[in-house]
Every structure is written in C-alpha cells, then in structure tokens.
Amino acid sequence: MKKFETGFTLVEVVIAALIIVVITGSIMYGVITTDNSLRNVELRHRAFNTLANKMEEFKAQVALNRIQTSSDRDRRVCIEYKTIRDMVNQTGAGTGCRTIGYLSHNIRSRQTESNQARIFDIEGKLKYKMMSRFGKAGKDTVIALNVSQLVFN
C-alpha cells in the first residue's frame, strides 16, 4: 500500500505517456493512410475515364481515316478539373486543372490478308502521380489501354 501513498514514479508516467502517444499516432496514421488510399482510388478512376475518352477520339480518327498523329509521347492532359466550367471550356492542363497526366499513344496498322478490311491497334498510356501518405504527389503510376479498330475498305 506504500505505493498508493507515494504516487507514480517518473518512469511510470513516461511509459504511460509513450503508450498514449503510440496509440494516438497509430490512429492518426491509419486515418491518413485510409484518406490517401481513397484519394488514389478516385484518381485512378478519373485517369481511367480520361484515357477511355481519349481512346474514343483515336478510334474515331482511325475509323474515319483522319489520323491526326499516329504516335505521341507525354502530352499534357488534365485528369481532374476543378469545376464543370473548366471542364466544358477544356482549359487543358492550365489553372482549371487539379491533376495533370501525361498521355502517350501509338496507332499501328496490323498486317492482314483481307482485302476488305484493315485492323488498327491503338495503344494508349496515361502517366500520373499518385498521392503519397502525406498528401503530396508521390510516385509515377501508368495505366494502359489497348484497343483494336476494324476499318472496312
């Protein structure tokens, strides 16, 4: 019973404080990690939609035989706009853009034996930066889509 009368020692108080700090730190780390994971999922979704939209444009160019550039590398595109107005006005990778990506594409004609149709392979890649744990731009991530477009002669 002597201990109750004398109170806690400094070592005990420091250990208790350390345990509280570790627990609080773990909770904070978990919250930040979850938040960034969700943000990365959203960015991936946006990046996929942007790439799918660009692939539609390439498919149209190929199908109508109006290919503007058969290959391009790291062209700046906007993955995420700040407002719908910026998106409609297509402010590109300027001030209205929240997240920038870099689009590469390659359109190749495939060798076929048919005289009636041609097949084009379209490769598209979009590079963007994922969020790091502390909300800053982290490592590069690349998503890719490959489609084939049939063109009748």
Partner 1 sequence: MKKLSKGFTIVELMISIMIASVVVGGLVYVVGESNFYLRKQMYRENVKKYADNVLNDIFLSAINANDVNIDNDGQIICGFKTSDGSSDSLKVYDYRINQGILVDGRPIEYAFFHNKDKNKNYYMQVTKFKAKTAFDGIGVDSELRDAVIDVFLGIQLNYNRGGSKVTESFPFQKTIFTRKAAVYSDNN
Computed on alpha carbons and rounded to an integer, the radius of gyration of the chain in Å comes to: 26
CA diameter of the chain: 100
87 versus 130: smaller Cβ distance to partner 1: 87
Closest distance to partner 1 from the beta carbon of 123 (Å): 17
Nearer to partner 1, 69 or 140 (CB): 69
N residues, the chain: 153
Residue 64 CB, nearest approach to partner 1 (Å)? 5
Q: Would you say 87 or 119 has its CB closer to partner 1?
A: 87
Residue ranges that bind partner 1, judged by CB under 8 A:
1, 4-5, 27, 38, 45, 49, 52-54, 56-57, 59-61, 63-64, 66, 81, 83-88
Residue 57 contacts residue 64 (beta carbons within 8 Å): no
For partner 1, which is the closer residue by CB, 83 or 109?
83
Among residues 108, 103, 92, 93, the alpha carbon closest in space to that of 151 is found at 108
Residues 109, 67: contact at Cβ < 8 Å? no
Least distance between partner 1 and beta carbon 113 (Å): 26
3-class secondary-structure state, position 20: helix
Q: Are strands 97-110 and 137-152 parallel, antiparallel or unpaired?
A: unpaired
Alpha carbons 148 and 121: distance in angstroms, whole number: 4
CB of 20 or CB of 140, closer to partner 1: 20
Q: What's the closest the beta carbon of residue 143 comes to partner 1, in angstroms?
A: 16
Least distance to partner 1, CB of residue 71, Å: 18
